[in-house]
């Protein structure tokens, strides 16, 4: 497929990894963010736009072969902020893709779409066994993102792959992340697979590395072509020395959304003063 991949949120953490990794896998990248990307690389196209501006997004998607939608508020916030950037914004991205004839959209969903889902008694948790169970307004927006994606597949025939990303950090920073970490290299590999998979239709997959302690099933992601290479276990000894062995009875380790399910993540604590 010719035409660049439009990466929204290109100035953010994951956007920056994708700008580095996708060209190595043969993708030309068109970058979009509401703030300018400061370290422009050769071959990149750049747009500064707000994803909630539908007209700007129609222009931005023109001629693109796919959209990788990473832009938005990447954690809990107030309802007005989340619903605008993450729900209205995702609608504009999908609607712009449809109007511009872009056949595929990869959406940055999150484990927090299913955050209150308990850890199974053994075995791995499949996506189909984790229906919407958001832990925050942020999680509600990710549920809505998946629902919008499903609508645009069934009604308009797009291919939409939703990545329920775990913890995408340069390296794991907590013992929970020994299970949920998604490494920078594996992030690129997962997005590349979501872009290349033949006719995925509507697909929802976990986004984690091949962590020894992971309890989210990667069968569906691997069926798309994802080949995870990293394992958070190499950081286990150092993290456990500082934080202690994970207590699986603690909600931080016993629920998909971890600490987001705790009382301190109530949106009231995110109201601006």
| Active-site residue, from 91, 137, 138, 152 | 138
Among the listed ranges 11-19, 119-127, 223-231, 262-270, the one in contact with ligand NAD (CB under 6 A) is: 11-19
Query: Does 15 contact ligand NAD by CB under 6 A?
Result: yes
Whether 138 is catalytic is yes
Query: Does 52 contact ligand NAD by CB under 6 A?
Result: yes
Contacts of 14-18 spanning 24+ positions with Cβ under 8 A: 14/70, 14/108, 14/165, 14/168, 14/187, 15/70, 15/71, 17/168, 17/184, 17/187, 17/188, 18/68, 18/70, 18/187, 18/188, 18/191
Q: What phi, psi does 12 have (nearest 5°)?
A: -80, -175
Q: Closest separation between CB of residue 75 and ligand NAD, Å?
A: 7
Query: Does 108 contact ligand NAD by CB under 6 A?
Result: yes
Exactly one of 72, 115, 246, 258 binds ligand NAD (CB under 6 A); which one? 72
How many helices and strands (H and E) does the chain possess? 10, 9
Shorter beta-carbon distance to ligand NAD: residue 1 or 229: 229
In angstroms, the Cα distances linking 155 to 93, 94, 216 are: 16, 12, 30
Query: Does 95 contact ligand NAD by CB under 6 A?
Result: no
Instruction: Write out the residues near ligand NAD by the rule CB under 6 A.
Output: 9, 11-15, 33-35, 50-52, 70-72, 74, 85, 89, 108, 110, 165, 167-168
């Amino acid at each position: 497929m010719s035409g660049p991949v439009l990466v929204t949120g290109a100035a953010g953490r994951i956007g920056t990894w994708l700008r580095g990794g996708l060209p190595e896998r043969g993708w030309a990248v068109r970058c979009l963010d509401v703030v300018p990307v400061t370290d422009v690389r050769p071959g990149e196209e750049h747009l500064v736009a707000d994803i909630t501006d539908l007209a700007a997004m129609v222009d931005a998607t023109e001629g693109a072969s796919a959209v990788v939608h990473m832009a938005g508020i990447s954690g809990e916030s107030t309802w007005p902020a989340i619903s605008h950037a993450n729900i209205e914004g995702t609608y504009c991205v999908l609607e712009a893709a449809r109007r511009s004839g872009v056949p595929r959209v990869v959406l940055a969903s999150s484990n927090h779409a299913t955050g209150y889902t308990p850890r199974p008694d053994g075995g791995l948790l499949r996506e189909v066994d984790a229906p919407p169970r958001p832990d925050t307004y942020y999680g509600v927006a990710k549920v809505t993102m998946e629902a919008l994606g499903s609508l645009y597949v069934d009604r308009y025939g797009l291919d939409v792959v939703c990545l329920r990303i775990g913890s995408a950090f340069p390296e794991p920073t907590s013992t929970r992340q020994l299970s949920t970490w998604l490494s920078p290299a594996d992030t690129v590999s997962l997005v590349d697979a979501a872009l290349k998979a033949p006719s995925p239709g509507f697909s929802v997959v976990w986004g984690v590395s091949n962590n020894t302690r992971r309890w989210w099933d990667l069968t569906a992601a691997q069926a798309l072509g994802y080949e995870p290479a990293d394992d958070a276990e190499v950081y286990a000894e150092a993290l456990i020395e500082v934080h202690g062995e994970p207590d699986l009875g603690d909600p931080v380790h016993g629920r998909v959304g971890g600490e987001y399910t705790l009382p301190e993540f109530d949106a009231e604590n995110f109201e601006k003063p």
